[in-house]
Amino acid sequence: MAHRTIKVDYLARVEGEGAFKIVVRGGVVQSAELSIFEPPRFFEAFLRGRAYTEAPDITSRICGICPIAYQMSAVHAMENALGIAITGPLRALRRLVYCGEWIESHTLHIYMLHAPDFLGYASAIEMARDHGDVVRRGLMLKKAGNEIMRLLGGREIHPINIRVGGFYRTPHRRELAPLAEQLMLARDAALETVRWAASFDFPDRERGYEFVALRHADEYPFNEGHIVSNRGLDILPDAYDDHFEETQVERSTALYSRIRTRGSYLCGPLARYNLNFDRLSAIAREAARDAGLGATCTNPYRSIVVRAVEVLYACDEALRIIAAYEEPEQPAISIEPRAAVGYAATEAPRGLLYHRYRLDEDGTIADARIVPPTSQNQASIEEDLKGFIEGFLDLPDDELRHRCEQTVRNYDPCISCAAHFLRLEIDRG
Amino acid sequence: MANDHPRCIVFGIGNADRGDDAAGPAVARQLRMLLLRGVKIIEHGGEATALVAQMDGAEAVFLIDACASGAPPGTIHRFDVAAAPVPDVALGLSTHSGGLAMAVELARALGQLPRRCIIYAIEGASFEIGAPLSPPAAAGVAAVACRVRAEIAKCANQGGGQHA
């Protein structure tokens, strides 16, 4: 047992294609490597030469699970470049559609991908045979998120209704009424989900992460705010490149992000929660406290509970937005292109999603840069594997492998999003 | 409420902008032209839970997908998965294997699988982003559209409730 290699060649229950390898020598974890082998997709190159108006629809194709996040980061970066700010009902509708995506994406991960780890099932299908009512509750909850996406995005998959300056079409108040009815039931289901997730057994593991998330003056963050951390970072998105860097490693088609002066960091639900607990709605804060979370949580295995709290918040916030909704006079404001650079960071379900665009005078995209959350979390995933697994080394290989997979799934990694770049170097001697 | 629970649903699964992965959506588009009464046609990305939610309450579903099993391009595979599990060979066939197989088995585990559930998989030649359907896959699309239409008509004639 002195020398052990734990390998998973194809990670199940994550989005996309990845693997990991852990090498143990003399009872010490020597290395933990996450490999992302999904082919790179060159979206940043596709964007060059296209009109600024096309970015939301092109970038939404990066991910079938979180297209709204890509659209939101794209439109906010373009609006930043063109010197406009969206306010009032249009701004509220953007928060609403983001609520839909969080509900859909988080619920999928909680019920279908992560809960089986805690309840001892190999898949959600096996879990459904024993816990049919629980899985049905998850499907009902997710459907409420899908319905928001369908109504505001124009369709559930690859939404088409979001544009720079607003929407192509905004809903009438009467269209939102059935949605509100559905969301009230979903909010109850979300509360049950928090209680259910809190009842799982969690490995007793904690780590001193640098959490990075948006923070807004008075909202739990979706589209706006400073990028802050628990170690003093406090910047606007236009300073992102000054503080974060991406490097390539041979084993991965995704770039590795680090904070320039410090190293790895964690973004996503756990970071948002720790940096914005006081911005949650009352019902979400209370549910979190009842679930034993407190205002801070540094155990990544409890991220499933934090996700459930965020689903509850998203249902509650969606209902608040619908109750206050006044139909806008125009679905979008008019915009004149100009030569400029625009920056935005929004909170995708999995964490911070940064976009930067440089535009020519006529609004043609001259350069684009996209940093998805899974790229930002790669180093942290590896450090979790390295740091936590040492305490599990007495487990047989199968159980240890499962514990490693569960540790990766704490992050709900979206490998399809992360694999976006590969530098090709040819050495011809 | 008829639209909420259509008796028969055809799902054309795949990415319409990714070469022969467009086979499923292409079948859906051909069938949509026929205006089949009582039949809902859905183009779908293949995400399992969304499929389960959408097939709930239907009497019959046809799931059309592209596949890459190594058979000659254009080959058509058909599986009746209402009574038997999705066969292992089919798991490896679909380009959305996790999604499609998981949807069927999840629906079965929840007791929500429609009484009639048929998978058609069309062998693709290329799945390049932006590429059109290859000629063999396009031929497969035409053939599957005819076969699904005939199955729906037969089902209606047998009192299955469909009116083609």
Q: Are A146 and B109 within 8 A, CB to CB?
A: no
Ranges of H-type helices in A258-360:
269-276, 282-290, 303-324
Domain range for residue A210? 43-418
For chain B, the straight-line distance linking the first and the last C-alpha, in angstroms and rounded, comes to 20
Q: From CA A332, how far away is CA A329, in angstroms rounded?
A: 9
Q: Which amino acid is at A417?
A: C
Q: From CA B105, how far away is CA B84, in angstroms rounded?
A: 10
Domain count, chain B: 1
Q: Which amino acid is at A151?
A: L
Site from A139, A414, A416 to mutate, B interface, most B CB atoms within 10 angstroms: A139
Angle, CA B49 vertex, CA B47 and CA B54 arms, to 5°? 95
Q: Does any domain span residue A12?
A: no
Q: Smallest Cα–Cα separation from A164: which of A86, A107, A110?
A: A86
Token pair 């089986």 is found at A116
Residue B3 has pLDDT above 60, yes or no: no
Q: Are A158 and B47 within 8 A, CB to CB?
A: no
pLDDT tens digit sequence for A282-291: 999 999 999 9
Q: Does any domain span residue B89?
A: yes
Two structure tokens written together for B65? 């997908």
Show the 3-state SS of A66-130: CHHHHHHHHHHHHHHHCCCCCCHHHHHHHHHHHHHHHHHHHHHHHHHHHHHHHHCCCCHHHHHHH
Shortest CA gap B7–chain A (Å): 20
Two structure tokens written together for A170? 């905004």
Q: Does any domain span residue A340?
A: yes
Query: Residue B95: enclosing H or E segment and its boundaries?
Result: none
| Burial class of A243 by CB neighbour count within 10 A (0 to 12, 13 to 18, 19+) | middle
| Residue A421, pLDDT score | 34
Q: Does any domain span residue A18?
A: no
Domain range for residue B38? 8-157
This model of the complex carries an ipTM of 0.81
Taking the alpha carbons of B130, B136, B139, B141 in that order, is the dihedral positive or negative?
Answer: negative
Using CA atoms, how far residue B85 sits from A116, A126, A160, B118, B141, in Å, is 21, 13, 36, 11, 25
| Residue A420, pLDDT score | 35
Q: Does any domain span residue B163?
A: no
Q: From CA A16, how far away is CA A270, in angstroms rounded?
A: 22
Share of chain B above pLDDT 90, in %: 57
Q: Does any domain span residue B2?
A: no
Residue B1 has pLDDT above 60, yes or no: no
Q: Does any domain span residue A424?
A: no
Q: Are B48 and A112 within 8 A, CB to CB?
A: yes
Q: A101-131 as b/e, with b when 16 or more CB fall inside 10 Å? A: bbbbbbbbbbbbbbbbbbeebebbbebbeeb
Ranges of H-type helices in B17-134:
23-32, 48-55, 88-93, 97-109
Token pair 């959350």 is found at A373
Q: Smallest Cα–Cα separation from A138: which of A170, A113, A156?
A: A113
Chain A neighbors of B110, CB-CB under 8 A: 128, 132, 135-136
Domain count, chain A: 1
Chain A interface includes B85 (CB < 8 A): no
Here the CATH number for the domain that contains residue B103 is: 3.40.50.1450
pLDDT tier at B162, thresholds 50, 70, 90: very low
A-B C-beta contacts closer than 8 Å: 45
Q: Does any domain span residue B122?
A: yes
| Residue B164, pLDDT score | 36
Chain B neighbors of A141, CB-CB under 8 A: none
Query: Residue A353: enclosing H or E segment and its boundaries?
Result: strand A351-359
Q: Does any domain span residue B113?
A: yes
Using CA atoms, how far residue A152 sits from A223, A294, B47, in Å, is 16, 34, 20
Q: Does any domain span residue A81?
A: yes
A:142-201 residues touching chain B, CB 8 A cutoff: 142-143, 146, 156-158
Shortest CA gap A141–chain B (Å): 11
Q: Does any domain span residue A13?
A: no
Q: Smallest Cα–Cα separation from B39: which of B1, B80, B11, B76?
A: B11
B:89-118 residues touching chain A, CB 8 A cutoff: 102, 105-106, 109-111
Here the CATH number for the domain that contains residue A293 is: 1.10.645.10
pLDDT tier at B129, thresholds 50, 70, 90: confident
Q: Does any domain span residue B27?
A: yes
Q: From CA A14, how far away is CA A415, in angstroms rounded?
A: 8
Residue B29 has pLDDT above 80, yes or no: yes
B:9-68 residues touching chain A, CB 8 A cutoff: 17, 44-45, 47-50, 52-53
Q: Are B109 and A108 within 8 A, CB to CB?
A: no
Q: Are B106 and A132 within 8 A, CB to CB?
A: no
Sheet with B39-44, strands from edge to edge, namely B39-44, B8-13, B60-67, B116-123, B76-80
Shortest CA gap A138–chain B (Å): 9
- The whole-model pTM stands at 0.89
* Residues in chain A where the model's pLDDT stays below 50: 420-429
Chain B neighbors of A60, CB-CB under 8 A: none
